[in-house]
A and B are shown apart, each in its own frame.
Chain A
């Protein structure tokens, strides 16, 4: 008998590529005094009132399961919030499900809609989990690239070209990780037309919606005819600095949310109860703490944007999230080479753009969810590094 237990692993799992982020994580973890701009989460700790509410729920003994779809009270607050913030109406009873992060919402949404071989269009550069989540759900991910020349905005022609008879859905992330690109209503409308024309569904990942710096954020579900064609995915991780709580949600047409709830019921039961009580407080207490964090992010965005321009790295103006995606093509290095050399020589961790898809090659993702003190020092070091490569 062979002792290689990997023979038990299913083929489609075995063939999944490990995320390119993993390698950098391993490398950065072995080094000391690294300033990391490689982190995809807020540097703030969760607002105290949320922590306190969760404590309180534990003290009161709320340690049992909740309804599969989540506390009704929380779903009601989510529905109210989506209505008031983005003018999208959802019924708490059957059109909202509370999940274990947006991550799980993406997973069960894909598993709900995909038959084996169905194609899902993914707009790159994008969050690293999409393609694998599609594959795991039996689907086939089809990438569409975006370019810096268009501010990494999806071009309707290119979307049209990648739609086939097998296309079932498209995953849109707005504002985007890793580019920070935010699409306006005008830019979303032609995409919505294609969705309608080809009878597709949209998984709209709006986890960074609250962190949009330009006015007029538009939820995809609010576009004409799109409410019935959108599974809106969001959560508390980024806006409320609650990544470790593992709490997100999906809202959409009742039939789809009910089907998602079936998977959820058999595989997860419900999202963590104490986290749900924290989230109730987060939504009840309103947006003051989110606005405060957002103001900091915006100021830091402005700071790093100018810093990169000054050192000669071209960059787009990120409209949201907390990432900036400057071009490093001037240095002649690949994004992996750049990130690795920068880490070793200057102890600054960034993520090579290539891990977010082919069209990310030639760019690096820098997160500005880091204190001004650290950012100032990081910009000094990157400048020194870039100068050493340009001369």
Chain B
């Protein structure tokens, strides 16, 4: 994280963001104590970040694997496209990210151009999306679809690891 040349206040504001990024449900009073600001100041900072769309929302990280009755698959799709003169990749990217089943789109360096993450209920649903919606776009040259078989770690969180597993002895010098 870039922290060079920032003021003390900005440093604390970055800390607020980092804390919320780890735990979106952390309450304002706890945050205030941790960064040594008043709850009012923390509220104001959060409001500012929401207004500036630096904070885009608060979501919950769910490991769906063990949720009974839940069906779902995720695919990562490498997409090669022809950039459009004057608009680069932005137009194609938008055509793709507007689809609600698309969860993420990144412009990549390397062998392909866009990395698209798609969620569906079943593999065939995702396959249909790729063949009917994605590969039919004018600018799309090719697609390579990879289905995720198992999530070990997502957004910095290791799934299936017990956070409270303290291996230390209860009292030590």
- Tell me, rounded to whole Å, the shortest Cβ–Cβ distance linking B164 to chain A: 7
Contact A43 B168 (CB under 8 A): yes
Contact segment of A9-17, A20-28, A382-390: A20-28
Contact A39 B34 (CB under 8 A): no
Q: 1/0 per position for A353-391, CB-CB distance to B under 8 A?
A: 000000000000000000111101000000000000000
* A contact face: mostly helix, strand, loop, or mixed: helix
> Is A19 an interface residue when CB atoms closer than 8 A count as contact?
yes
Bound-state CA distance A25–B168 (Å) is 12
Contact B30 A376 (CB under 8 A): yes
- Tell me, rounded to whole Å, the shortest Cβ–Cβ distance linking A24 to chain B: 5
Residues of B within 8 A of A177 (CB): 173
Q: A295-B15, A299-B34, A371-B163 are in contact. Are A36 and B170 (CB under 8 A)?
A: yes
> Is B96 an interface residue when CB atoms closer than 8 A count as contact?
no
Contact B171 A38 (CB under 8 A): yes
> Is A128 an interface residue when CB atoms closer than 8 A count as contact?
yes
Total A-B residue contacts, Cβ distance less than 8 Å: 63
- Tell me, rounded to whole Å, the shortest Cβ–Cβ distance linking B165 to chain A: 10
- Tell me, rounded to whole Å, the shortest Cβ–Cβ distance linking B22 to chain A: 9
Residues of B within 8 A of A55 (CB): none
Name the residue of chain A whose CB is nearest to the CB of B172.
A40
> Is A328 an interface residue when CB atoms closer than 8 A count as contact?
no
Residues of B within 8 A of A300 (CB): 34
Contact B33 A39 (CB under 8 A): no
Bound-state CA distance A24–B171 (Å) is 7
Q: 1/0 per position for A142-155, CB-CB distance to B under 8 A?
A: 00000000000000
Name the residue of chain B whose CB is nearest to the CB of A129.
B173
Contact partner, A127, options B33, B171, B173, Cβ 8 Å: B173
> Is B169 an interface residue when CB atoms closer than 8 A count as contact?
yes
Contact segment of A71-79, A109-117, A198-206, A301-309: A301-309
> Is A6 an interface residue when CB atoms closer than 8 A count as contact?
no
Bound-state CA distance A254–B77 (Å) is 62
Contact A128 B171 (CB under 8 A): no
Q: A299-B15, A371-B163, A371-B164 are in contact. Are A41 and B172 (CB under 8 A)?
A: yes
- Tell me, rounded to whole Å, the shortest Cβ–Cβ distance linking A135 to chain B: 16
Contact partner, A349, options B15, B26, B30, B170, Cβ 8 Å: B170
Residues of B within 8 A of A349 (CB): 170-171
Contact B34 A28 (CB under 8 A): no
Name the interface residues of B23-37: CB closer than 8 Å to any CB of A.
Answer: 26, 30, 33-36
Residues of B within 8 A of A221 (CB): none
- Tell me, rounded to whole Å, the shortest Cβ–Cβ distance linking B13 to chain A: 14
Contact partner, A25, options B19, B30, B36, B170, Cβ 8 Å: B170
Contact B166 A303 (CB under 8 A): no
> Is A34 an interface residue when CB atoms closer than 8 A count as contact?
yes
- Tell me, rounded to whole Å, the shortest Cβ–Cβ distance linking A174 to chain B: 17
Residues of B within 8 A of A28 (CB): 170-171
Name the residue of chain B whose CB is nearest to the CB of A28.
B170
Bound-state CA distance A279–B19 (Å) is 30
Contact A25 B169 (CB under 8 A): yes
Q: 1/0 per position for A306-345, CB-CB distance to B under 8 A?
A: 1100000000000000000000000000000000000000
Residues of B within 8 A of A299 (CB): 15, 19, 34-35
Q: 1/0 per position for B68-82, CB-CB distance to A under 8 A?
A: 000000000000000
> Is A29 an interface residue when CB atoms closer than 8 A count as contact?
yes
Q: A295-B15, A372-B30, A376-B30 are in contact. Are A302 and B35 (CB under 8 A)?
A: yes
Bound-state CA distance A168–B35 (Å) is 44
Name the residue of chain B whose CB is nearest to the CB of A376.
B30
Bound-state CA distance A82–B105 (Å) is 46
Contact A29 B170 (CB under 8 A): yes
Contact partner, A128, options B35, B163, B173, Cβ 8 Å: B173
Q: A295-B15, A372-B30, A376-B30 are in contact. Are A302 and B172 (CB under 8 A)?
A: no
Q: 1/0 per position for B30-60, CB-CB distance to A under 8 A?
A: 1001111000000000000000000000000
Contact B171 A351 (CB under 8 A): yes
Bound-state CA distance A36–B168 (Å) is 10
Bound-state CA distance A192–B87 (Å) is 68
Contact B33 A307 (CB under 8 A): yes
Query: A residues touching B (Cβ–Cβ < 8 Å)?
Result: 19, 21, 24-25, 28-29, 34, 36, 38-41, 43, 127-129, 177, 295, 299-300, 302-303, 306-307, 349, 351, 371-374, 376
Q: What are 12 sample pairs from A and B whose C-beta atoms fall under 8 A apart?
A: A21-B172, A25-B169, A38-B171, A129-B173, A177-B173, A299-B34, A299-B35, A302-B33, A303-B30, A303-B34, A307-B33, A373-B163
Q: Which 6 A-B pairs have the closest CB atoms?
A: A38-B171, A299-B34, A28-B170, A25-B171, A36-B170, A306-B33
Query: Besides the contacts A39-B170, A40-B173, what 9 more A-B pairs have beta carbons closer than 8 Å?
Result: A25-B171, A39-B168, A39-B172, A127-B173, A299-B34, A306-B33, A349-B170, A372-B26, A372-B34
